[in-house]
Amino acid sequence: MSFERIKEKLNILADAAKYDVSCSSSGSDRTNTNKGLGNATPMGICHSYTEDGRCISLLKILLTNHCIFDCAYCVTRKSNDIKRAAFKIQEVVDLTINFYRRNYIEGLFLSSGIFKSPDHTMERLVAVAKKLRLDKNYNGYIHLKSIPGASDELMYEAGLYADRLSVNIEVPTISGLKLLAPDKKHEDFTKPMRKVQHEIVRYKAEKRIIKSTPKFAPAGQSTQMIIGATGETDKDIMYSAHHYYTQYQMRRVYYSGYVPVAEDSRLPAIGSQVPMLRENRLYQTDWLLRFYGFGVQEILNNEHPNLDMDVDPKLGWALRNLHLFPIDINRADKGMLARIPGVGMQSVGKILNARRFRKLNWGHLKKIGIALNRAKYFIICDSNQWENHELEPQKIKGIILKNSVGKFRKNYSSQLQLFN
């Protein structure tokens, strides 16, 4: 194997794949069989981190960056003048195995530009996974991209070898899709998703009856949306995410602040700032929906189509619903505890455990690790000292912002800077 040639290809094809945000290696529990190589740990492992602070868990590459489509947001689109390359199947297999044996990675994330036809491309992706599983007895993690428009038969085969499958819907609204990716239809994205979802449900049902039923995409499906490319509201994004969580049982929806990669009148210009704060707020909302028991309508609705930029979504919600507070730490149920700003699910668990032994006061709460600077306006505990709960929402927000720092603060501070 010529290392120089491989290096060149790896540079091109890893560079093009990096805009896929997903790098999780969790959610699968494949064990090592027949003294083979590797296993998948349910919690996943990040082996390294990029300089922009994202996890590197998988070898994330494209099989090729040749593409017949011309989607405006994509760096590998047909009309973009960039270097093109393609890996051979064997090269990807060797690279994966050798990286894996050195404990560099948890597994492979294989995506591809679409060459010739969707089916032709999907077939090659499946071939890589199949070779790893059957020839190399490899039990590590494999994430395959479902190519929009791929046939049901190929999607079925992909699920047999991969741990996770994903289709990036990229543009959260159908009108946006028409504008930016005129060659693709909305159905091309949802059809493979639907097929995989049905198969997962079917395999799970069979597994209940026959223990030896093989795994089918044990880490489920995920998808990704680009943020800030088509002028959509936060409500559009989160309602769409909610749709995919409930209708397609997605494990994760990823939000990716649009990084300008091309001069195009339909898109933000090259050099414009990546909406990282907005991305952060969307992830916070996503967590509130998945782990904190919030409904999407509670946080985003017609009166509030966008998230607050200056405070986190939970604090924003609490300030709009002050009539529900203060909450008694020593009495409230789990669901209400989770709604207190500054209290995370870890702290909720600790509070529930600790209050069985004694009534909790400010000292206990501080040691447990809740963010009292935010929480203290919304709770009472075993103490006769508490914050004045008669304050107006604006006033509370003002005090909290004044007494805290945030790395994004400069982006939205309306106060005039004295020295600058």
Among 202, 204, 367, 395, binds another protein (CB under 8 A): 367
Range 16-45, binding another protein (CB under 8 A)? 18-19, 31-32, 35-39, 41, 45
Range 273-292, binding another protein (CB under 8 A)? 274, 276
Classified as helix, coil or strand, 310 is: coil
How far is 125 from 118, CA to CA, in rounded Å?
11
Backbone angles phi, psi at 166, to 5 degrees: -145, 145
Looking at the Cβ atoms of 65 and 197, the one nearer to another protein is 65
Decide if residue 263 touches another protein (CB under 8 A): no
User: For residue 93, with 0-12 CB atoms within 10 Å meaning exposed, 13-18 middle and 19 or more buried, which class applies?
Assistant: buried
Least CB distance from residue 209 to another protein, whole Å?
28
Tokens of 22: 């997903």
Residue window 198-237: x/- pattern of binding to another protein, with contact defined by CB under 8 A: ----------------------------------------
Least CB distance from residue 11 to another protein, whole Å?
5
Whole-number Cα distances in Å, 189 to 104, 148, 149, 150, 405: 32, 5, 7, 9, 41
Our CA angle for 330, 333, 337, nearest 5°, is 75
- Angle, helices 313-320/276-291, rounded to nearest 10 degrees: 70
Q: Which stretch binds another protein (CB under 8 A): 65-73, 310-318, 327-335, 361-369?
A: 361-369
Contact 193, 218 (CB under 8 A): no
Q: Which stretch binds another protein (CB under 8 A): 10-18, 125-133, 205-213, 305-313?
A: 10-18
Least CB distance from residue 256 to another protein, whole Å?
10
Range 54-73, binding another protein (CB under 8 A)? 54-56, 59-60
Indicate left, alpha or beta for 35 from its phi (over 0: left) and psi (-120 to 50: alpha).
left
CB atoms within 10 A of CB 30: 21
Decide if residue 103 touches another protein (CB under 8 A): yes
Decide if residue 93 touches another protein (CB under 8 A): no
Which residues of this chain interact with another protein, rule CB under 8 A?
3, 6-7, 10-11, 14-15, 18-19, 31-32, 35-39, 41, 45-56, 59-60, 95, 98-99, 101-104, 137, 257, 259-260, 274, 276, 350, 353-358, 360, 364, 367-368
